[in-house]
Amino acid sequence: MNIVKTVADLRAAVARARSEGKRIGLVPTMGNLHDGHIALVKKAGQRADFVVASIFVNPLQFGANEDLDSYPRTLADDQAKLVEANCHLLFTPGVEEMYPGGMQYQTQVRVPGVSEGLCGQSRPGHFDGVSTVVTKLFNMVQPDIAVFGEKDFQQLAVIRNMVRDLNMPVQIIGEPIVRRADGLALSSRNGYLTPDELQKAPVLQQTLRTLANAIEQGRRDYPALLAEGNAALSAAGFRPDYLEIREASTLRPADAQATELVILAAAYLGKTRLIDNLAFSLHG
Ligand code: PAF
């Protein structure tokens, strides 16, 4: 695996691969790679001939009081995992390389609608930072495909809308959530949890499952169901940020007729904010 730090070296390496007729796949990450990320790299390897991963902790998507400084940076481990997963090229730019003009006047990409509400409401500016850095990475790499995890369900919807709205010539592929045996979705932020919090954390996924089962069995009293879900989370020691039942494709609030649904949650355990979601269909 080659490692490059500059856009010029990245472009040169990708151009070589393309001149050999290779299809280019991109997996953007912020590092601290776990099996969820590795599943993205492997999916990219199935759909493309030359896999590029990026590791960049993007300051533009962190709020002033968020964990930019403490976000885990584990480059040596990440490199070993990427080699193992057959990644061909790793791009690890510094902030100067990504934002040479500084961030204050950086042109930004905003995807209205789908980026509002849910995490967009709790983390103002977050999705503008995501769509901006992903646009830059797409322009730098010009991949044929790019793979993102479904754990960040709203992020994936934002990116799909951005690609559609701006006619970006890249196919977006979503990869299912990877979970621990106890159901907890893998996340770099799980590393912040104390042993006690780690034991409680699977309740987030269990709550989503309980709500989905109730809907599958015919309940449509969504406000009451969500109140029950919030109560279950609070009882387990979470501080819920949001718990919502939405239409899976638009992320608009679901009414009783909607059949393609996603339940999304964000909740704090101590200082750690966890997110999870469960998408399901009421057709057969
Ligand atoms: O999902 C992430 O890790 C980040 O939001 C992404 C897509 C790499 C953009 O910084």
Q: From the centroid of its chain, how far is CA 277?
A: 11
* Protein residues with CB under 6 Å of any ligand 1 atom: 28-30, 58, 61, 130, 133-134, 152, 155
Residue with tokens 């990409």: 109
Atom number, ligand 1, closest to the C-alpha of residue 152: 1
User: Ligand 1 centre from 261 Cα, in Å?
Assistant: 24
Contact 35, 190 (CB under 8 A): no
Pick from 242, 224, 281: which is nearest to 258 by CA?
281
pLDDT at 284: 63
pLDDT at 125: 97
- In the chain, where the domains are located: 2-175, 188-277
Fold of the 2-175 domain: Rossmann fold (3.40.50)
User: Ligand 1 centre from 159 Cα, in Å?
Assistant: 10
Element (DSSP H or E) covering residue 254: none
Residue type, 227: A
φ/ψ (deg, to 5) at 191: -65, -20
User: How far apart, in Å, are the Cα atoms of 22 and each of 16, 46, 47, 134?
Assistant: 9, 13, 11, 22
Question: Ligand 1 atom 8: the closest Cα is on which residue?
Answer: 29
Atom number, ligand 1, closest to the C-alpha of residue 134: 9
| pLDDT tens track, the chain, 284 positions | 999 999 999 999 999 999 999 999 999 999 999 999 999 999 999 999 999 999 999 999 999 999 999 999 999 999 999 999 999 999 999 999 999 999 999 999 999 999 999 999 999 999 999 999 999 999 999 999 999 999 999 999 999 999 999 999 999 999 999 999 999 999 999 999 999 999 999 999 999 999 999 999 999 999 999 999 999 999 999 999 999 999 999 999 999 999 999 999 999 999 999 999 999 999 86
pLDDT at 116: 97
Residue burial 154-172, b: 16+ Cβ < 10 Å; e: rest: bbbbbbbbbbeeeebebeb
- Tokens standing for residue 146: 């790019």
Catalytic residue among 37, 88, 126, 283: 37
Q: Collect all residues with Cβ–Cβ distance below 8 Å to 155 and sequence separation of at least 6.
A: 119, 127, 130, 148
Question: Ligand 1 atom 5: the closest Cα is on which residue?
Answer: 130
pLDDT at 283: 82
Helices 75-84/35-47 angle, 10° precision: 40
Q: In what order do the strands lie in the sheet containing 50-55?
A: 2-4, 89-91, 50-55, 24-29, 145-149, 171-175
Residue 37 appears among annotated catalytic residues: yes
Q: From the centroid of its chain, how far is CA 101?
A: 26
Q: What is the CATH number of domain 188-277?
A: 3.30.1300.10
